């Protein structure tokens, strides 16, 4: 069976951010931020703590409303509801204690419009196959992270928003994330990742927040 | 799709502009309050006749009834502010909401306490589960819930939005609560209850009542302005403290 | 619909695994009922008179159990973020969560209530109306609780606050429900309170998901 991460091509919309401004707790994080991403592109977000990396990702995910500016995706199939083309992976994995890894991925897959029957294969692909029947609260932080990554494969979506995807992962896990990102971009998807770890991709965009220029 | 709001709202919400208006309005309001209360209380105690059944105790009506009106009026104002917060994201609406809640609760409490004092000579008991009193009691509980929610959420923006939703949910529920309590009351009506308010009110009583109501209104508006100014100052202090904590070079 | 069912199934499974499920709520209900005679004495006639009111109050309190964690656990672990990205509206998904909560609290409670009514010497002709009133009325309680759960979702100790916010709003439901049982016990028609109770539930079916979803969206702004 072909690995899920290389299945088919992805039809990603292009992202256009214009004049984005955001204030958090009286402080302006960024203003007049412009950004364009085409299908197949990977953007790495860097910047010191508290400069708005997570905020920018949550803005793009549609969880927050900007103070000014616009975030547009085009072209979008009309039948999609807001956020339906996005994967968001943040500091919290979205896994619920009390359920097994497999149940968690199945639920997330159904929730996100994927195929729950792919959960098993997805877990195997992120190296969490043997953990499938364990309740997630007994897993280590790195193992949980892997389980959380499985939903990216179980419910294919063209845009991935990854906030600190390498946290708690061992060297193998980090290599896995790099491989998944590369494969997703190759297939035509968009990835925005906030991390200070090198992504080592040939074609990559870079945005540093919080600098004097930003 | 994220769309921004026009920034003109922010200018309208400028605290300096608000403060200028508040300062201009505050003293006339305080003077009006003093005058209205002096005239209204004089009318209450010396001009208006004693009730032929209740005697002098009827005079408590001039304190009690306007408080009940204000209790509802303040809530109506909070509903408008809540819409301002949620629909227009107007920061002054947040401030007005927050400043109004304890005042509304206070008027509700005044209404309940004076009602209770009035109840003792007329009903022979401090508390009667009368439909009106019970509805007002539930209104007080809702006010207290709103105040508790203000206190529980640290971030003022989040608190404002949560409270705004609660205020609107409360507004939808209040008529239902009122209806259900009235309905309950007609089913369980106690044997003898003296109606607090006859449907007809003599004009000699109406005039002091209206003057007292106006006095209550100006009192509310003055206190609201003072509380809003205080809240703005508190937020300013908070903002300055946060900015001071982020002076470049001192960031961890 | 798939997402909706997945949430419903997940919450039911969680209720079973985490142990906050039906049994515990029922035990709580039973304890409340067995405490009543200790508080007011063993006068059967008096107990019988206040039984409808007391059963409804107990049901109200039992419904509050677990509400503070209904959304909070999902919020803390980032699951609600995923709800926002689902193809289905948040309001719709919250209804699935409310239904799951009702299936493990309100429903078993309604079914067991006649048994407890037996212990409280309730009139035999009021048994079925008691169960009926709870069946129709407890969904309204759960839905009102959903609003409270959404408003207190980010608060560390939101449980008490939630009760303070929610309980005043349950006044009409309590009035209609308890009155229904009382009227039935007196052998009178109870169509009016039943209609009113159903109306409450229908109204909350609209208001609660909308306001809870608004609260959750605003809470992350």
Of A92, A98, A116, the CB nearest to C17: A98
Please check whether residue A36 touches C, CB under 8 A: no
| B136 falls within a domain | yes
| A111 falls within a domain | yes
Tokens 């509400």 belong to residue: C67
What is the nearest CA distance from C71 to chain A, expressed in angstroms? 12
User: CB of B61 within 8 A of CB of B118?
Assistant: yes
Domain extent for B52: 15-190+215-238
Residues 94-123, chain A, touching B (beta carbon < 8 A):
none
pLDDT score recorded for residue C15: 85
pLDDT score recorded for residue B9: 46
Domain extent for A179: 12-75+157-214
| A86 falls within a domain | no
Burial track C64-93 (b if 16+ CB lie within 10 A, e otherwise) = bbbbbbbbbbbbebbbbbbbbbbbbbbbbb
The tens digit of pLDDT for each residue in C86-116 reads 888 999 999 999 999 999 999 999 999 999 9
Those chains having 3 or more beta-carbon pairs within 8 angstroms of chain C are A, B
Question: With contacts defined as CB-CB under 8 Å, which chain B residues touch C172?
Answer: 173, 176-177, 179-180
Does the beta-carbon distance from B3 to A67 stay under 8 Å? Answer: no
The tens digit of pLDDT for each residue in A53-101 reads 999 999 999 999 898 999 988 887 777 777 888 999 988 888 988 899 9
Q: Which residues pair with B48 in a beta bridge?
A: none
| B125 falls within a domain | yes
Q: Domain locations in chain C? A: 2-219
User: Could you tell me the two tokens for B109?
Assistant: 């409490």
Judge if A50 and A141 occupy the same domain: no
Q: Tell me: cis bond preceding A75? Omega within 30 of 0 counts.
A: yes
- Rounded to 5°, the CA angle B100-B211-B128 comes to 65
Judge if A143 and A167 occupy the same domain: no
The tens digit of pLDDT for each residue in A120-175 reads 999 999 988 899 999 999 999 999 999 999 999 999 899 999 999 998 899 999 99
Instruction: State the total domains in chain B.
Output: 1
* B124-138, B197-211, C132-146, range with the lowest pLDDT: B197-211
Average pLDDT across chain C, whole number: 91
Question: With contacts defined as CB-CB under 8 Å, which chain B residues touch C210?
Answer: none
Number of CB atoms found within 10 A of residue B195's CB:
9
Please check whether residue A78 touches C, CB under 8 A: no
The tens digit of pLDDT for each residue in C17-39 reads 766 566 788 888 999 999 998 99
pLDDT score recorded for residue A56: 93
* Residue in C217, C220, C2, C191 with CA at minimum distance from that of residue C91: C217
Looking at this predicted complex, what is its ipTM?
0.90
Going B229 to B235 to B237 to B243, the CA torsion angle's sign is negative
Please check whether residue C87 touches A, CB under 8 A: yes
Average pLDDT across chain B, whole number: 84
Tokens 């209205």 belong to residue: B36
Please check whether residue A11 touches B, CB under 8 A: no
Could you say which of A113, A140, A155 is where a domain stops?
A: A155
Could you say which of A104, A134, A155 is where a domain stops?
A: A155
Judge if A190 and A163 occupy the same domain: yes
For residue B119, name the pLDDT band (cuts at 50, 70, 90): confident
DSSP string, A44-81: EEE-STTSSHHHHHHHHHTSS--SEEEEEEES--TTPP
CATH number, domain containing residue A185: 3.40.50.300
* Chain B nearest-CA residue for C211: B165
User: Could you tell me the two tokens for C103?
Assistant: 């299936």
| A2 falls within a domain | no
Instruction: State the total domains in chain A.
Output: 2
Please check whether residue A27 touches B, CB under 8 A: yes
pLDDT of B60 above 90: no
| B195 falls within a domain | no
Please check whether residue A147 touches C, CB under 8 A: no
Question: With contacts defined as CB-CB under 8 Å, which chain C residues touch A110?
Answer: 2-3, 5-6
What percentage of residues in chain B have a pLDDT greater than 70? 87
């Amino acid at each position: 069976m072909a690995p899920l991460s290389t299945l088919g091509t992805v039809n990603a919309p292009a992202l256009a951010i214009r004049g984005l401004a955001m204030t958090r707790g009286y402080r302006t994080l960024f203003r007049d931020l412009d950004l364009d991403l085409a299908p197949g592109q990977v953007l790495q977000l860097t910047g010191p703590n508290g400069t708005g990396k997570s905020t920018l990702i949550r803005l793009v995910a549609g969880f927050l409303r900007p103070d000014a500016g616009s975030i547009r995706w085009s072209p979008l199939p009309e039948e999609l509801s807001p956020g339906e083309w996005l994967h968001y992976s943040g500091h919290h994995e979205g896994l619920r204690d009390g359920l097994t890894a497999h149940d968690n991925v199945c639920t997330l897959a159904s929730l996100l419009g994927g195929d729950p029957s792919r959960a098993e294969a997805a877990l195997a692909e992120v190296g969490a196959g043997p953990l499938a029947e364990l309740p997630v609260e007994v897993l280590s932080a790195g193992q949980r992270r892997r389980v959380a990554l499985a939903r990216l494969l179980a419910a294919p979506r063209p845009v991935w928003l990854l906030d600190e995807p390498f946290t708690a992962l061992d060297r193998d896990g980090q290599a896995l994330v790099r491989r998944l990102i590369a494969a997703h971009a190759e297939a035509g998807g968009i990835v925005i990742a906030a991390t200070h770890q090198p992504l080592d991709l040939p074609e990559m965009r870079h945005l540093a927040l919080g600098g004097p220029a930003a | 799709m994220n769309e921004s709001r026009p920034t003109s709202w922010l200018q309208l919400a400028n605290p300096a502009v608000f403060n200028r208006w508040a300062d201009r309005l505050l003293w006339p309001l305080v003077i009006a309050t003093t005058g209205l209360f002096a005239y209204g209380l004089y009318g209450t105690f010396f001009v208006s006749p004693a009730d032929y059944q209740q005697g002098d105790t009827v005079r408590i009506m001039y304190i009690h009834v306007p408080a009940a009106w204000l209790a509802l009026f303040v809530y109506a104002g909070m509903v408008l502010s809540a819409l301002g917060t949620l629909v227009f994201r107007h920061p002054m609406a947040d401030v007005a909401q927050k400043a109004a809640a304890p005042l509304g609760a206070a008027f509700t409490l005044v209404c309940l306490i004076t009602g209770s004092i009035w109840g003792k000579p007329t009903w022979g008991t401090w508390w009667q589960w009368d439909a009106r009193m019970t509805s007002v009691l539930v209104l007080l509980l809702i006010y207290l819930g709103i105040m508790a929610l203000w206190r529980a959420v640290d971030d003022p923006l989040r608190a404002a939005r949560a409270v705004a939703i609660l205020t609107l949910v409360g507004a939808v529920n209040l008529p239902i609560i009122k209806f259900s309590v009235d309905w309950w009351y007609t089913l369980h009506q106690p044997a003898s209850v003296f109606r607090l308010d006859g449907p007809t009110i003599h004009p000699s009583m109406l005039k002091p009542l209206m003057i007292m109501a106006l006095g209550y209104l100006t009192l509310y508006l003055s206190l609201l302005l003072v509380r809003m100014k205080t809240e703005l100052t508190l937020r300013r202090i908070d903002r300055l403290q946060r900015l001071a904590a982020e002076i470049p070079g001192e960031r961890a | 619909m798939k997402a909706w069912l997945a949430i419903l199934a997940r919450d039911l499974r969680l209720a079973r695994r985490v142990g906050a499920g039906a049994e515990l709520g029922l035990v709580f209900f039973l304890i409340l009922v067995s405490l009543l005679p200790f508080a007011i004495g063993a006068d059967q006639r008096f107990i019988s008179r206040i039984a409808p009111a007391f059963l409804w109050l107990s049901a109200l309190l039992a419904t509050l159990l677990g509400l503070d964690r209904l959304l909070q656990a999902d919020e803390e672990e980032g699951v609600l973020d995923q709800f926002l990205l689902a193809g289905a509206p948040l309001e719709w998904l919250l209804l699935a969560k409310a239904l799951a909560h009702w299936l493990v609290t309100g429903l078993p409670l309604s079914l067991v209530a006649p048994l407890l009514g037996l212990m409280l010497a309730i009139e035999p002709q009021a048994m079925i109306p008691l169960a009926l009133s709870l069946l129709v009325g407890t969904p309204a309680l759960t839905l009102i609780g959903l609003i409270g759960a959404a408003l207190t979702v980010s608060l560390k100790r939101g449980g008490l606050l939630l009760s303070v916010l929610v309980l005043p709003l349950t006044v009409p439901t309590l009035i209609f429900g308890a009155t229904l049982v009382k009227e039935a016990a007196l052998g009178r028609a109870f169509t009016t309170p039943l209609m009113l109770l159903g109306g409450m539930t229908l109204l909350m079916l609209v208001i609660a998901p909308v306001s809870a979803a608004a609260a959750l969206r605003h809470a992350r702004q």
